[in-house]
Each structure stands twice: as structure tokens, then as C-alpha cells.
Amino acid sequence: MRLILFDIDGTLVRGGPAKQAFQIALEHEFGTAGAVDSHDFSGKTDPQIARELLVGAGLASARVDAGLARLWERYLAELETRLEGTPMTMLPGVAELIGALEDSGKAVLGLVTGNIARGAHLKLGSVGLSDRFRVGGFGSDHEVRNHLPGIAIGRAREAWSREFDRSEVWIIGDTPLDVACGRHEGVRTLAVATGRHRSQELRDCGADEVVEDLTGLDSALRTLVG
């Protein structure tokens, strides 16, 4: 049995109002969103992004820590409201691949994402995917993304009452940081060039397999479940 762990933004979905909601919440709680317009969000955890923006704007780390709980409360409220009118867009091939993996009987599905958990489910819910992933490792679990695969694997062990050898685990993501967290945990990685990073860059950072997108269903199934 394979454990397939998906990233969210740039891998399953794109677009939506998350950046706007994040900026509003930062300004409300901390009085600044820092250099949010030029900041690279890709592959990072929500707490990491908040810290980078706020420390970059001159706030002390202790002040950031003290305000994070209120930041997430406001962010989630803003995100939920805005998703009603501006839902995420599901990327090509995603629904077909998820359905085929489920139907194969050879895989179980989870998430490894820098989104805090509730934010992840709100985004996926806006495209009808919130109930397709039983476990995950989230930015709300740890600020350092490299820790998230191990958290997701531990939850999968409990959910399915079995051990998952690292050779049975795949992470699917669109950034070098997705590949890096997979390599850190010793699992395999399938990189998709549907975000900001091109295929060659994803190959160069050590992904086991690289595809342009998830529309090649037969090829993806052969790679992931044999």
C-alpha cells in the first residue's frame, strides 16, 4: 500500500483569496504586512511566511509569537468569507488522479502542506476536495516544513493501523521545498511544474520524478502505484 501525500497550493489548486486574507490579518494584528507584495510564499509554511514578513518589517520574534494565535483566527475568518465569492481553481488532472488512486486499492491519500490545517481544508473545500485526504502534516503542526512529512506518516500509521516504509511514501509538490522535505524524510518525490518552478529546476533539486502537470493519468499511476 502506498501513502501519497499532496501539497496544496500550486499542486492541487491555484488562485483564490488567501494572500489578500493573509495581508488583512497581518495588518490587523501587527499593524504591517511587511513586503507582502514581493515576498516568495512558495513551498513555505504559513508561520514561516508570517515570521519572515514581520521580522523583515522590524518586529521582534517574541512579538510575532505572541500574536500568531490571533493572526490565524483573523486570517481564517477572512479566508472563509472570501472563498465564497472567489474559490480556488483546481488544477488539470487533479480530480482524475485522486479518483484513480482511490479506485486502485493500492494507495491512501494525505497532505503535506505549509497551510495551517483549517486553512488547508477551507481551500480544498472550495473545490470539493476537503474529504479526500484523511491525514496530513500542516504548517500549524510545525513551522519547519521538513518536519511535516514525518508528522503525516505518523498520523497515517494511526489512521490505517500499519507501518508505511519510506519506500512506500510519495510526496507530490510543485516547489524545491516540497522535494527537500521529501528527501529529508527519505521518501520519494514527484514534482509537478504547475507552480513557479520549471521542470529542469525541479530535476536539479533532486526530485525522483518530474512531470509538467497531473494530466498524464496512466503515467502517474504507473509511477505512484506500479
Domain boundaries, the chain: 2-15+89-225, 18-83
Q: Please indicate, yes or no, whether the overall pTM of this predicted structure exceeds 0.75.
A: yes
Check residue 52 and give its pLDDT. Answer: 97
Contact in structure between 140 and 72 (CB atoms under 8 Å): yes
The answer to whether the 2-15+89-225 and 18-83 domains have the same CATH topology is no
Q: Which residues are CB-contacts of 80 (< 8 A; sequence separation ≥ 6)?
A: 122
CA-to-CA separations, 173 to 11, 53, 62, in angstroms, rounded: 6, 23, 32
Classify the C-alpha dihedral 71-74-77-81 as positive or negative: negative
Q: What does each of the 226 residues of the chain score in pLDDT, given as a tens digit?
A: 999 999 999 999 999 999 999 999 999 999 999 999 999 999 999 999 999 999 999 999 999 999 999 999 999 999 999 999 999 999 999 999 999 999 999 999 999 999 999 999 999 999 999 999 999 999 999 999 999 999 999 999 999 999 999 999 999 999 999 999 999 999 999 999 999 999 999 999 999 999 999 999 999 999 999 8
3 state SS of 19: helix
Check residue 226 and give its pLDDT. Answer: 87
3 state SS of 197: coil
Give the distance, in angstroms, between the CA of residue 35 and the centroid of all CA atoms in the same chain.
Answer: 22
In CATH, 2-15+89-225 is 3.30.70.20: no
Q: How far is Cα 8 from Cα 23, in angstroms, rounded to an integer? A: 20
Superfamily classification of domain 18-83: Putative phosphatase; domain 2 (1.10.150.240)
Check residue 47 and give its pLDDT. Answer: 98
Q: Fill in the amino acid letter for 179.
A: V
